[in-house]
Amino acid sequence: MIALALPAQTTTEEGFVPPTIEEAHPPNILPWNTEYGVWFAPGFGKQMLLVILSVILIGAFFYVASRRGQLVPGKLQFVGEAAYGFVRNSIGKDIIGGREYLKYVPWLFTAFFFILVNNIFGAIPLLQIPSFSHPGSAYAIAAIFYLLWIAVGVKKHGLRYFKLAVVPSGVPWYIMPLVVPIEIISNFLVRPVTHSLRLFATMLAGHLIVMLAGSAIEFMTLSGNVLLQGTGLLVLGGAVAMYMLEALIMVLQAYVFTLLAAIYIEGALHADAH
């Protein structure tokens, strides 16, 4: 077990052992689990269960909210329409626009609520882990959009898309050798990495901070030292503030991820105009 970039794991006389990244991985659920997963699915833990739970929650909510389809919506339908309309209009229509944005609304809508609900799991007691604090999930969803916007570009412009994407117009020829590699790196290599790591890192960091604060509070409270216990109260206040901040970031990152996905799709659609 290797600690993340937390204070080095020391064995001082205080005996405070900071939580490691391994502890961010929740305990196994099924009794016949191997140490970290079941025999047929190694690593099948709480995080995966939460991903599945999120699919059920989101699917059920929007299925029920959209099913009636009344002209004058009830409360549930109104909430569903507002949520759908937000992604459809504020992200899809405003960023992609044109007549073709509606084609990409399901992708954006699914991504937004998938990420949002999975992030918010981290702020709910007992569930208490944002699914995207695990890199696998973040890579997966970023890869989906990476493939999507490349496919959109190729479908729209053919193989010429790759040229359009890396050769900016209006640049003098002698700068091209400099610009083209930069464009290739920034568009096709860095972009998916930042797209996924932004989500993953913010979720993991927030999770770790809250976890660290929790373990520190526990250690300080049980230490028997009055001064440490007083400090523990301060840490508790700080932890609550960090929890609030993290809750904000959970919502924000879902929005940022979806917004960037929309911007990438728009860029692929209108590669010839950039």
Q: Which of residues 211-270 bind other proteins (CB under 8 A)?
A: none
Burial of 177 (0-12, 13-18, 19+ CB in 10 A): exposed
CA–CA distance, 235 with 263 (Å, rounded to integer): 40
Kindly state the smallest distance separating residue 175's Cβ from other proteins, in Å: 34
Long-range contacts at 101-107 (CB < 8 A, ≥ 24 apart): 104/152, 104/262, 104/265, 107/145, 107/148, 107/261, 107/265
Closest CA to 147 of 266, 255, 51, 265: 265
3-state secondary structure of 37: strand
List the interface residues with other proteins, window 128-167 (CB under 8 A). Answer: 131, 134-137, 139-141, 144
Task: Please pick, from the candidates 16, 84, 188, 219, the single residue that binds other proteins as defined by CB under 8 A.
Answer: 84
Q: Return the residue of 6, 36, 97, 222 that touches other proteins, per CB under 8 A.
A: 36
Residue among 9, 10, 30, 66 that touches other proteins (CB under 8 A) = 66
**Cβ-count burial of 203 within 10 angstroms (0-12 exposed, 13-18 middle, 19+ buried)?**
buried
Among residues 102, 151, 233, 234, which is the contact residue for other proteins, using CB under 8 A? 102
Positions touching other proteins (CB under 8 A) are 1-2, 4, 21-22, 25, 34-37, 41-44, 47-48, 51-52, 54-55, 58-59, 62-63, 66-67, 69-71, 73, 77, 80-81, 84-85, 88, 102, 105-107, 109-111, 113-114, 131, 134-137, 139-141, 144, 197, 204
